[in-house]
Structure 1
Amino acid sequence: MSPGGEDGSAERIASDLSAGVYGLAAFLPPRRVAVIGASERPGSVGRAVLENLSSSSASVFPVNPRHSQVLDMPCHASVTEISPPPDLAIIATPALTVPGIIEECAEIGVKAALILSAGFKETGPAGKLLEDRMIATARAKGLRILGPNCLGLMLPHAHCNASFAAKMALPGSIAFLSQSGAVGTAILDWSLREKIGFSAFFSLGSMADVDWGDVLFFLADDPRTRSIILYMESIGDPASFLSAARAIGSQKPVVVLKVGRTKAAARAALSHTGSLAGSDEAIEAAFRRVGVIRAQTVEELFSLAEALGGNARPSGPRLSILTNAGGAGVLATDALLLSGGELAPLSGETLEELDRILPPSWSRNNPVDIIGDADADRYRKAAEVLKKEPQSDGMLVLLCPQAMTEPTRTAELLCEAVKDYGKPVLAAWMGGEAVEGGTALFHQARIPCFSYPEAPARAFALIWQHRRNLELLYETPRLLVDPETLGTAAARCEEILRRAEREERVLLDEWESKEILRAFGIPVVATCLAESEEEAVARARSLGFPVAVKLRSHKLPHKSDVGGVRLGIENEAALIAAYRQIRDAAVAAAGADAFLGVTVQEMAAKKGIELILGSAADAQLGPLLVFGAGGIFVDLLEDRATGLPPLNTTSARRMIERTRIARALRGMRGIPPSDEKILEEILIRFSSLVLSLPRIREIDVNPLLAAGDGAVTALDARMVLFPQSTPPEALPRPAIRPYPVEQIETTRLRDGTFLRLRPIRGEDEPQLVEFHRGLSEESVFYRYFQHLKLEQRVAHERLARICMADYNIETVLVAEVLPPHPEAGRIVAVGRLSKLHGFSGAEFALVVSDRWQRKGIGRMLLERLTSIGRREGLEWIIGRILPDNEPMKRICLELGYRVRFNAELGENEAILSLRMLGDGGKADHKEER
Structure 2
Amino acid sequence: MPQSLTNATDRAYDILRSEYHPLDAIFAPKNIAVIGATEKEGSVGRTLLWNLIRNPFGGTVFPINPKRNSVLGIKAYPKISDLPESIDLAIIATPAHTVPGIIGECIDAGVKGAITLSAGFKETGEAGVELERQILQQLRRGSMRLIGPNCLGIMNPHTNVNATFASSMALPGKVGFISQSGALCTAILDWSFREHVGFSAFISIGSMLDVGWGDLIYYLGDDPNTESIVIYMEAIGDARSFLSAAREVALTKPIILIKSGRTAAAAKAAASHTGALMGSDAVLDAALRRCGVLRVDSISELFDMAEILAKQPRPKGKRLTILTNAGGPGVIATDALNTGGGELAQLSEDTKNNLKQLLPANGSYNNPIDLLGDAQPSRYASALEIAAKDSASDGLLVILTPQAMTDPTQTAQLLQNYAHLGKPVLASWMGDIAVETGSELLNKASIPTFPYPDTAARMFNYMWHYSYNLRSLYETPVLPDNADTDIPDRALVDKIINTAREAGRTLLTEAESKELLGAYGIPTVTTRIAIGVEEAVRVAEEIGYPVVLKLFSETITHKTDVGGVRLNLHTSDEVRTAYQAIESSVAEKVGANHFAGVTVQPMINLKNGYELILGSSIDPQFGPVLLFGCGGELVEVFQDRALGLPPLNTTLARRMMEQTRIYKALQGVRGKESVDLAALEQLIVRFSQLVVEQSWIKEIDINPLLAQANGDSLLALDARVVLQKSSSKETQLPKLAIRPYPNQYIYTWEMRNGTKVKIRPIRPEDEPLIIKFHHTISEESVYFRYFHLIKLSRRIAHERLTRLCFIDYDRQIALVADYKNPHTQQHEILAVGRLSKLNGKREAEFALIISDRHQCQGLGSELLQQLLQIGRDEHLKKISAEILAENTAMQHVCKKLGFHIERTEDPSVLTAEIQL
2:720 aligned residue? 718
Determine the structure 2 residue equivalent to 1:87.
88
- What displacement does 1:307 show? 1.9
Gap change, CA 1:81 and 1:906, over 3 Å in 2 = farther
Letter in 1 for 2:667: R
Partner of 2:8: none
User: Is the 2:337–2:457 contact (alpha carbons within 8 Å) kept by the matching residues of 1?
Assistant: yes
Contact 1:430 1:451 in 2 (8 A): yes
- 1:190–1:498 Cα change, 3 Å: same
Hey, what's the Cα distance between the residues in 2 that align with 1:558 and 1:363? 58
**1:757 corresponding residue in structure 2:** 759
- State the Cα distance separating 1:733 from its structure 2 match: 0.7
| Pairing 1:29–2:28 present | yes
Cα deviation, residue 295, structure 1? 0.8
SS at match of 2:646: coil
Q: Structure 1's 358 and 80: CA in aligned 2 closer, same or farther, altered over 3 A?
A: farther
**1:124 maps to amino acid:** G
Residues 753/422 of structure 1: CA separation in 2 closer, same or farther (3 Å cut):
closer
Question: 1:327–1:817: structure 2 CA closer, same or farther, 3 Å change rule?
Answer: same
Is the Cα contact below 8 Å between 1:379 and 1:410 reproduced in 2? no
CA deviation vs aligned residue, 1:34-65 (integer Å, no higher than 9, x gap): 22222333332223323332223232222222
Cα 1:668/1:362, change in 2 over 3 Å: closer
The aligned amino acid for 1:29 is A
**Aligned position for 1:3:** none
**TM-score, scaled relative to structure 2:** 0.92
Q: How does 1:812-851 map to 2 (within 5 A)?
A: 812-818=814-820, 820=822, 825-851=827-853
* In structure 1, C-alpha distance between the alignment counterparts of 2:95 and 2:456, rounded to whole Å: 45
Deviations 1:465-513 (A, max 9, x none): 3223222221111112767756652221122222222221211111111
Question: 1:579-600: CA deviations, max 9, x gaps?
Answer: 1111111122222220111101
Query: How large is the Cα RMSD of the aligned pairs?
Result: 2.7
Please name the residue that 2:186 is paired with.
185
The answer to whether the 8 A contact 1:150-1:206 is kept is: yes
Letter in 1 for 2:258: L
3-state SS of paired residue (2:206): coil
- Classify the secondary structure of the residue corresponding to 2:115: strand
Is the contact between residue 245 and residue 290 of structure 1 (CA under 8 Å) also seen in structure 2? yes
The residue identity in structure 2 corresponding to 1:788 is: I
Pair 1:373–1:73, CA change in 2 (3 A): farther
Partner residue, 2:515: 515
Q: 1: CA distance between counterparts of 2:148 and 2:483?
A: 41
Counterpart of 2:538? 538
Amino acid at match of 2:893: I
Find the counterpart in structure 2 of residue 910 from structure 1. 912
Structure-1-length-normalised TM-score: 0.90
1:525-924 paired onto structure 2 within 5 Å? 525-605=525-605, 607-669=608-670, 671-709=672-710, 711-818=713-820, 820=822, 825-904=827-906, 906-914=908-916
Distance in 1 separating the partners of 2:302 and 2:344: 23
Name the structure 2 match of 1:475. Answer: 475
- CA distance in 2 between counterparts of 1:707 and 1:103 reads 65
Instruction: Write the distance in 1 (CA, Å) between the matches of 2:649 and 2:45.
Output: 53
Return the offset for 1:172.
2.3
Aligned equivalent of 1:338: 339
**Residue 270 (structure 1) aligns with:** none
Conserved in 2, the CA contact under 8 Å of 1:22 and 1:142? no
CA distance in 2, matches of 1:654, 1:542: 41
Alpha-carbon displacement from aligned partner over 1:306-342 (angstroms, at most 9, x marks no partner): 3234254445544443434332222222223333434
Contact 1:484–1:741 under 8 Å retained in 2: no
Distance 2:100 2:730 in 1: 32
- CA distance in 1 between partners of 2:265 and 2:551 (Å): 38
- Letter of the 1:597 partner, please give it: G
1:41 is aligned to 2:43: no
**Deviation at residue 372 of structure 1 after TM alignment:** 4.1
Q: 1:354 to 1:71 in 2, by over 3 A?
A: farther
Q: What SS does structure 1 have at the residue aligned with 2:155?
A: strand
Distance 2:329 2:252 in 1: 33
Specify the code of the residue in structure 2 equivalent to 1:633. L
TM-superposed deviation, 1:804: 1.8
Q: Which sits farther off after the overlay, 392-401 or 522-531? A: 392-401
SS in 2 for 1:263: coil
The 3 A distance-change label for structure 1 pair 496 and 391 is closer
Which position in structure 1 is the counterpart of 2:7?
none
Q: Would the aligned equivalents of 1:623 and 1:645 in 2 still touch at CA under 8 Å?
A: yes
Structure 1 residue 359: Cα displacement: 5.7
Identical aligned pairs, as a percentage? 50
2:256 — aligned with what? 255
Tell me the secondary structure at the aligned position of residue 235 of structure 2. Answer: coil
Give SS of 2:809's match.
coil
| 2:246 is aligned with 1:242 | no
Counterparts of 1:716 and 1:395 in 2: how far apart (Å)?
49
- Over residues 185-239 of structure 1, what are the superposed CA-to-partner deviations in whole Å (9 max), with x where a residue is unaligned? 2222332222222222222111111111111112222222222211111111111
Contact 2:413/2:441 (CA < 8 Å) preserved in 1? no
What does 1:297-376 correspond to in 2, within 5 Å? 297-344=298-345, 361-372=362-373
- Within a 5 Å distance, the mapping from 1:205-244 to structure 2 comes to 205-244=206-245
Unpaired stretches in structure 1, ≥5 consecutive residues: 1-16, 268-276, 915-929
CA contact (8 A) 1:111 1:142 kept: yes
Inter-partner Cα distance in structure 2 for 1:351 and 1:528:
64
Separation (CA, whole Å) in 1 of partners of 2:423 and 2:482: 43
In structure 2, relative to structure 1, the CA distance for the partners of 1:673 and 1:391 (3 Å cut) is: closer
Q: Shift of residue 559 of structure 1?
A: 0.6
Letter paired with 1:254: I
Q: Which residue number in structure 2 is paired with residue 175 of structure 1?
A: 176
Q: Distance in 1 between matches of 2:441 and 2:40?
A: 41
What is the Cα deviation at residue 166 of structure 1? 2.2
- What is the alpha-carbon distance in structure 2 between the residues aligned to residue 665 and residue 383 of structure 1? 38
Take 2:368 and 2:209, find their aligned partners in 1: how far apart are those partners?
A: 50
Q: Is the 8 A contact 1:212 1:240 kept in 2?
A: yes
Residue of structure 1 in register with 2:51 after alignment:
52
Residue 462 (structure 1) shift: 1.7
Deviations 1:90-127 (A, max 9, x none): 22221111112211211111111111221112222211
Q: What is the CA–CA distance in structure 2 between the aligned matches of 1:63 and 1:912, rounded to whole Å?
A: 40
Output the amino acid matched with 1:897: F
| Matched-pair contact (CA < 8 Å) for 1:487–1:741 | no
- Count of aligned pairs: 888
1:380: how far off?
Answer: 5.9
Residues 360, 31 of structure 1: alpha-carbon distance in 2 compared, 3 angstrom cutoff? farther
